[in-house]
Amino acid sequence: MIDAIAFIWSVTKHSTRVEYMADRRSRDAVALNLLVLGEGARSLSAETRAMAPDVQWPVLTSIRNRIAHEYRSFDHSIAWSIATERLPGLQERLTLLLEQINPADPSL
């Protein structure tokens, strides 16, 4: 999940919203990694999700479902907003969660 966020950031950090929206490869890359992020959130145990009640787990899985099942009508401006406004904080929170789960090796 952290890798997906890092990849999304690498795609969007040097782009403007207009550039992102005009670039299908960037949109597809971000959408795929949001799907990966949502799939990861969906596969976490309830106990693990409970360790981070401030993370909006249902939102992550909902975005995953929208991308997976309604891709043709998916609004990529939503993906841009998520990537630029919400993911930096989420990456920090997931890193802390990972350290709680496995303090011996936080790089997993």
* pLDDT, tens only, 3-22: 999 999 999 999 999 999 99
Q: Tell me how many degrees the CA angle 91-97-101 measures, rounded to the nearest 5.
A: 140
Residue 75, CB half-sphere, CA atoms under 13 Å: how many?
4
For 57, phi and psi rounded to 5 degrees? Answer: -55, -45
For the chain, give the percent of residues with pLDDT over 70: 94
Q: Mean of the pLDDT values across residues 46-64?
A: 94
Domain edges within the chain: 2-101
Q: Fill in the DSSP letter of residue 23.
A: -
Nearest C-alpha neighbor of 84 from the set 3, 11, 4: 11
**What is the pTM assigned to this prediction?**
0.88
